[in-house]
Structure 1
Amino acid sequence: MRADDVMTTEVYCVGPETSVKEVATLLLRRHVRGLPVVNADGTLAGMVTEADLLAIGCAPDPRRHARRDLIVAGMAADHVDASGRSEDRRIVAEIMSTPVVTARADADLADLARIMLSRHLTRLPILDDHNRLVGLVSRRDLVRLLARTDADIADDVRQVLVDWCAEVPPAISVVDGEVTLAGPAAALPDLLLALIRAIPGVIAVHVPAQPR
């Protein structure tokens, strides 16, 4: 399957000039851990996440460090520039993560899963050919595929066999996402077995040993 088969297309976004306070409120209200940041033309500018907010939202508490005056003073100085003005960041453009790992709408879901795992990402923005945001694929979207019913998986397996198998197809059964092929026609070509394994929700494909 492709990214555009499962991606969420109604994605709530914020602009680079959105206030940090507003973003924090939106994350809590919508029960999400991050939001895409898009420019006025729809192109992706970055991502703002809970981690970005934590980096600016946890200033040292002087009460906790009351006996460490020098350390507290040094930490406080780090938050003030030469003009004496506070360096607290106030808009998304100053705290968002960029550049962002993205994918195209026709990307293979297996590739997206590998990217998320290797980069420790919980979501991937999906862009069109003009680098405009068109959707978002999350880990939950991919996990949802594993929850497909055995009946739906069996229907997809039968369709693959009809489309690709010129001979009489083998008998199939699906239990907990594991596909078992049986009968004289179960010895399928590797390409056909790979197509069955690629069906969303398939955990494994079993082909009983054929008698000699």
Structure 2
Amino acid sequence: MVKVSEYMTKKVDCLSPDNTVKDAIRFVKETGHDAFPVVVDGKLVGIVSVHDLVGKDENEKIGNIMTKREDMIVAKPDADIMDIGRLMFRTGFSKLPVVDDENNLVGIITNTDVIRSQIEKTTPEKLNKIVKTYENLGLKTRVERGYVSIDELKPTQSKVHEDELTGRMYELKKGLAEPIIAIKTKKSGYILIDGHHRAVAAYKLGIPKLDAYIIYIDTDKKLGIEKTAESQGLRTLKDIKIIDENNENSINTYTLKPKVNFD
């Protein structure tokens, strides 16, 4: 069993009940996220989304418009990530707060994380697990091998690591890189599922297309993973950030004066 804790994001952007709608809108612009857990002293008390902000007075307190904890669906760190994935698919939620037994916010899990949890190191295994994941959700698939233009790839990962990127550039120059994995639906472009470092490396090297396993999914609706990517401002490879260190082990909270600490 793969646990939620293995794939959840530990750096969580949060709001306080005392923040206002104006603060939340500013936070949306700063982070690119569309929903935020609401916490008090590290405890989850609610969640607010951009839909909750529409039409509200900018001075309205978040605590008055948020969905309260008792009405929320949450995940636990030890839960089976596929059980959470099925729950998200049935309910339509693209992300869920993760809390421990004391209701402390410890992370957030997204539908993107669920898909990534099925990806392992060997490409055939990656491919088969991704296909099986969508088939388990009731979608028809077919797989073809081909080439995909770099310009047509829509990323689902917001950042890549500089050291690994250097390695992928070397592999591409030597012709050693394995195929990427992309999803193609009836109305969407090519959604990049696995191979973000390879894709960014190809972009930096001026390589126009990459060898790919293409998973064709028989649906005219946007997949949750694509919606999540769009909510993060991910539309082309140019939107991916290149970082040289991992800073994902803290909680960022938008606070008012007096300062509220959610560490």
TM range (shorter): 0.5 to 0.7
Structure 2 matches for 1:54-69, cutoff 5 A? 54-56=54-56
2: CA distance, partners of 1:14 / 1:140: 22
Q: Offset of 1:6 from its aligned partner?
A: 0.2
| 1:92 matched residue in structure 2 | 62
Kept in 2, the 8 Å contact 1:124–1:136? The answer is yes
With structure 2 as the length reference, what TM-score do the two structures score? 0.45
2: CA distance, partners of 1:175 / 1:119: 28
Q: Offset of 1:89 from its aligned partner?
A: 6.0
CA deviation string 1:27-82 (max 9, x = no partner): 12111110000012x1111101011001426xxxxxxxxxxxxxxxxxxxxxxxxx
More strand by share: 2
| 2:174 matched residue in structure 1 | none
1: CA distance, partners of 2:12 / 2:92: 21
2: CA distance, partners of 1:56 / 1:10: 28
| 1:106 matched residue in structure 2 | 78
CA deviation string 1:123-160 (max 9, x = no partner): 111111101100000112123345x36xx147xxxxxx
Structure 1: segments with no counterpart, 5+ residues:
58-87, 155-173, 179-199, 205-212
Flag the 1:8–1:175 CA change in 2: closer, same or farther, 3 A: closer
2: CA distance, partners of 1:153 / 1:107: 25
How many residue pairs were aligned?
130
Kept in 1, the 8 Å contact 2:21–2:56? The answer is no
| 1:3 matched residue in structure 2 | 4
Whether 2:45 is the aligned partner of 1:45: answer yes
Q: Could you say which structure has the larger radius of gyration?
A: 1
2: CA distance, partners of 1:175 / 1:8: 24
Structure 2: segments with no counterpart, 5+ residues:
134-263
Q: 2:127 aligns with which of 172, 177, 182?
A: 177
Kept in 2, the 8 Å contact 1:153–1:202? The answer is no
Whether 2:67 is the aligned partner of 1:117: answer no
Flag the 1:39–1:54 CA change in 2: closer, same or farther, 3 A: same
With structure 1 as the length reference, what TM-score do the two structures score? 0.56
1: CA distance, partners of 2:8 / 2:84: 11
Q: 1:143 aligns with which of 115, 121, 128?
A: 115
**Which letter maps to 1:5?**
E
**Which letter maps to 1:45?**
V
The runs of at least 4 aligned residues of structure 1 exceeding 2 Å deviation read 143-146, 200-204
1: CA distance, partners of 2:72 / 2:62: 14
Give SS of 1:103's match: coil
2: CA distance, partners of 1:175 / 1:143: 13
Pairwise CA RMSD of aligned residues? 2.3
2: CA distance, partners of 1:9 / 1:175: 27
Kept in 2, the 8 Å contact 1:89–1:95? The answer is no
Structure with the bigger RCO (C-alpha within 8 Å, sep 6+) is: 2
Q: Offset of 1:105 from its aligned partner?
A: 0.4
Structure 2 matches for 1:188-207, cutoff 5 A? 201=130, 203=132
Percent identity between the two aligned chains:
28
2: CA distance, partners of 1:43 / 1:50: 21
